[in-house]
Amino acid sequence: MIQKKACMLGSFSVGKTSLVRRFVESIFDEKYQTTIGVKVDKKVVQADGEEVTLVLWDLHGEDAFQKMRMSYLRGMSGYLLVIDPTRRQTLEDALSLQERVQEAMGAIPSILVLNKSDLLEEWDIDLDRVALLEERGQAVIRASAKTGEGVEQGFSRLASAMLQFPV
């Protein structure tokens, strides 16, 4: 069975951990995220007719006090870039984060996850900007950790993209 390392990236409190919790089997406590900055979970998904074991590194969200450890990204095959569309700033932060990641790792598969799709009316981001990103080839998905919408698809799409992308 193929294994792939994938990371959950995004600002503090955008719902990365909620998405993962919705999706994975976990044996570790979430306190690892605050202590060492990461928690590793696992999920087996079907992608392109193949079973893929996703080893998900759920990284602590960046904030004013804690920078993300770039070293945790080493060896990943792809990542979910999660934003909270009700907070405009999270998209900006995510894009600058993606830039840093691309600098270090090159252009590897990624999915931009617009979380909290259940709170659509509260969204505050520039959706035109998102459409532009999509045009340029950035995979985008709307999801809700609360309702489960788009979660499975998000991870499956990432898995599929990672399989097709040779490292």
Return residues touching other proteins (CB under 8 A): 1-5, 25-28, 32, 36-42, 52-53, 55, 57, 69, 71-72, 74-77, 107, 137, 164-167
Query: Shortest distance, CB of residue 142 to other proteins, whole angstroms?
Result: 23
Complex with other proteins: residue 103 or 121, whichever CB lies closer: 103
43 pairs with which residues across the strands? Answer: 54
Complex with other proteins: residue 78 or 150, whichever CB lies closer: 78
Query: Shortest distance, CB of residue 90 to other proteins, whole angstroms?
Result: 24
φ/ψ of residue 20, rounded to 5: -65, -45
Query: From CA 35, how far away is CA 11, in angstroms rounded?
Result: 17
Query: Shortest distance, CB of residue 42 to other proteins, whole angstroms?
Result: 5
Q: Please enumerate in sequence order all residues whose Cβ is within 8 A of that of 80, keeping only pairs 6 or more positions apart, or say none.
A: 6, 7, 8, 9, 10, 16, 19, 110, 111, 113, 154, 155, 158
Complex with other proteins: residue 53 or 86, whichever CB lies closer: 53
Query: Shortest distance, CB of residue 71 to other proteins, whole angstroms?
Result: 5
Complex with other proteins: residue 28 or 127, whichever CB lies closer: 28
> Across 60-124, where does the E strand assignment appear?
78-83, 110-114
Nearest to 155 by CA among 13, 28, 55, 12: 55
